[in-house]
Structure 1
Amino acid sequence: MTARSTRRTTAMRSRTAAVGAIAVAGALILTGCGDQTKDNSSKSTTGTSSAPLADKLPKAIRDAGVIKVGSDIAYAPVEFKDSSGKTVGIDPDLADAMGKQLGVKFEFQNGTFDTLITGLRSKRYDIAMSAMTDTKDRQEGIDADTGKKVGEGVDFVDYFTAGVSIYTPKGKTQNIKTWADLCGKKIVVQRGTVSEDLAKSESKKCTGGKKIAIESYDNDQQAQTRLRGGGADAGSSDFPVAAYAVKTSGGGKDFELVGEQVEAAPYGIAVAKSNTQLRDALQAALDAVIKNGEYDKVISKWGVEAGAVKTATVNGGK
């Protein structure tokens, strides 16, 4: 969701620290973001009265018993619908564990990724949790393309780290190993992501009139479909998502990863800057599930241990 992440790409990002180790797709033992709809199927919680951190929440949320989550639920394995229509993945599982600490349900609502912060500003959502990279631009409300202020920005509670990867049709790598190798070629990406930003940035560096042709889509699945159908030379998304696509699409026969992941950065839960009490409650809940072992269980379940964090950090992105 992903990087998903819009950010100015002055430094290469591989989306804390040992993320390079997850560059082996086989390390992912995975089971596997649209219009506004609600999905409560993957949420459970204990009662507010018995939850250890319930008193940290804003009263309105505590009374409602629900945290409304904006999420692009088409980004396996971070968040996606399983065959029964249930919302599953890394984010829903972590939200469920945090909900038990806070005594509320995390109610995931589906929305296109590039509208999630807008939905947060308009109070459609209480938080956005969607493989969203914590960046200074987002913290400060800066548009990554124009460099202009577009809002007050958001705060992030960081919970995972990942990088951006390139993948191609299997057996058709065309010697693509780095972003520079994409000059003169076409890449498919999800709109509003670090992959899109990086493609734009790298295209400006191309010489001899060989720019990178960029096709951007509302969600990553659409981009994958275009590449699968022969409509592009390569695709890019956050490493866990790219690796999952390589592992599962066509039974592992459709795509292959090329080169190393770049632009390492944290995923963060986005919260309005005015809602510091909710931000701090989320940080406390995440720290609690890290300490009690539930965090490690979720990360291990999805095979992404190398992206795990040791503590919940606020605004750790650069």
Structure 2
Amino acid sequence: MLHPLSRGLKGLAVMLFVVAGVAPAFAQDSAAVPEVVEKVPAAIKEAGKLRIAMPDQGKPFAYKVGNELKGMDVDLANALAATMGLEAEVTLIPFASALTGLQANKFDISFGEFYITAERMKTADFITSWQTYATFLVNKDKGFMPATVSDVCGKSVAVMTGSVDQVALEKAKNDCADGTRIKVEAFPNSSSAVLALVSGRVDAVRADIGVASDMMRATPGLVNTGKLGGGFCAIAVARNENSTQMLDASKAALDHLIKSGEYRRILEKNETAYGAIEEAAIYAEGSNPPVYKEE
């Protein structure tokens, strides 16, 4: 496949959705940036496409409307690939499969709002793209309003499998001062976790504030309580012979989108501008992970 710049295109990048039942959706026009394109690894440039894992997190990150995949991560994925002069080949997957997919060389990068931890850095590299915090989502009518992790002792809490929310609660579940424990229930995506809450199977959901906010808009009677942890989250990059160049290219692309205003337009469109960052930062093998706020 010829490189887009060699054909003189002004940067119409096609997003190919490798998702059962999802028709290809065409993204906004976005120009390839020569100084970004030159940083793209030769093998990926020759292939002409960026293989992107898209965890099925639901709104506001990645969700389907009819046959179209939408959300902040979808829009950023499209813009990132276009800026590199590549087609974005996006595969919707369970969150827990994202990093293993990178390890298996199925993808070049993965979205997913990853908190950068020492454990995750054993298998992948990261570049910051947003910032956020977690909260509890509960049924207002139940009168249960947890503000801290200790408040859910003796309760059942739903989380998304493989998320930092699951890690945090698994770590704390046996530390209850009253002798009880937190029952952690893991689900493949946020929608399933919220369904468990609405149906009364769990007492609360711990999730990203963006997910919680959208679920509250969609489901009357749900409210969020507490502000848990928080800090930078990131796109994961496959650790292989292309890692160094891919990290440099991703940072250059993100920084360009930030400076051009396209990054903020994408966030505002998806009501996630509260998590905007001013510059992307690389966390490669050997880096110290960021320090996140204590809960």
State the TM-score bracket (shorter-chain normalisation).
0.7 to 0.9
Do 2:169 and 2:182's aligned partners in 1 also have CA atoms closer than 8 Å?
yes
Secondary structure of the residue aligned to 2:112 is coil
Match of 1:270 in 2: 236
Alignment partners' CA distance in 2, 1:77 and 1:156: 21
Match of 2:286 in 1: none
Alignment partners' CA distance in 2, 1:117 and 1:248: 30
Match of 2:115 in 1: 133
Alignment TM-score, normalising by the size of structure 1: 0.78
- How far apart are residue 39 of structure 1 and its match? 6.7
User: Structure 1 64/46 Cα, relative in aligned 2: closer, same or farther at 3 Å?
Assistant: farther
Identity, in percent, stands at 27
User: Structure 1 58/39 Cα, relative in aligned 2: closer, same or farther at 3 Å?
Assistant: farther
Match of 2:42 in 1: 59
Do 1:40 and 1:107's aligned partners in 2 also have CA atoms closer than 8 Å?
no
1:112 equivalent to 2:85? Answer: no
- How far apart are residue 241 of structure 1 and its match? 0.6
In the TM superposition, what are the counterparts of 1:91-240 in structure 2 within 5 Å?
91-139=73-121, 141=122, 153-240=123-210
Alignment partners' CA distance in 1, 2:274 and 2:31: 33
Alignment partners' CA distance in 2, 1:72 and 1:62: 24
1:317 equivalent to 2:287? Answer: no
Task: Note the alpha carbon deviations across 1:161-187, whole angstroms, 9 max, x for none.
Answer: 001110101222324222111111111
Do 1:43 and 1:106's aligned partners in 2 also have CA atoms closer than 8 Å?
no
Do 2:52 and 2:77's aligned partners in 1 also have CA atoms closer than 8 Å?
no
- RMSD over aligned CA atoms reads 2.1
Deviates more, 1:285-294 or 1:102-111: 102-111
- How far apart are residue 125 of structure 1 and its match? 0.7
Secondary structure of the residue aligned to 1:236 is strand
- How far apart are residue 53 of structure 1 and its match? 2.2
Task: Note the alpha carbon deviations across 1:277-307, whole angstroms, 9 max, x for none.
Answer: 1111011000111111111111122222221
Alignment partners' CA distance in 2, 1:237 and 1:309: 20
1:245 equivalent to 2:212? Answer: no
Secondary structure of the residue aligned to 1:289 is helix
State the 4+ residue runs in structure 1 displaced beyond 3 angstroms.
35-40, 42-48
Residue among 30, 40, 64 paired with 1:81: 64
Stretches of structure 1 lacking an aligned partner (at least 5 in a row): 1-34, 142-152
Residue among 11, 14, 25 paired with 1:41: 25
User: Structure 1 106/294 Cα, relative in aligned 2: closer, same or farther at 3 Å?
Assistant: same
Match of 2:7 in 1: none
Residue among 260, 278, 286 paired with 2:254: 286
Do 1:69 and 1:106's aligned partners in 2 also have CA atoms closer than 8 Å?
yes
Secondary structure of the residue aligned to 1:214 is strand
Do 1:188 and 1:226's aligned partners in 2 also have CA atoms closer than 8 Å?
yes
Alignment partners' CA distance in 1, 2:29 and 2:120: 30
Matched residue type, 2:48: G
Count of residue pairs brought into register by the alignment: 266
Stretches of structure 2 lacking an aligned partner (at least 5 in a row): 1-17, 284-288
- How far apart are residue 42 of structure 1 and its match? 5.2
Alignment TM-score, normalising by the size of structure 2: 0.83
Alignment partners' CA distance in 1, 2:99 and 2:131: 20
Do 1:162 and 1:264's aligned partners in 2 also have CA atoms closer than 8 Å?
yes
Task: Note the alpha carbon deviations across 1:118-141, whole angstroms, 9 max, x for none.
Answer: 1101101111112222223211x2
Alignment partners' CA distance in 2, 1:46 and 1:220: 31
Alignment partners' CA distance in 2, 1:136 and 1:39: 38
User: Structure 1 36/101 Cα, relative in aligned 2: closer, same or farther at 3 Å?
Assistant: closer
Do 1:40 and 1:108's aligned partners in 2 also have CA atoms closer than 8 Å?
no
Alignment partners' CA distance in 1, 2:172 and 2:211: 21
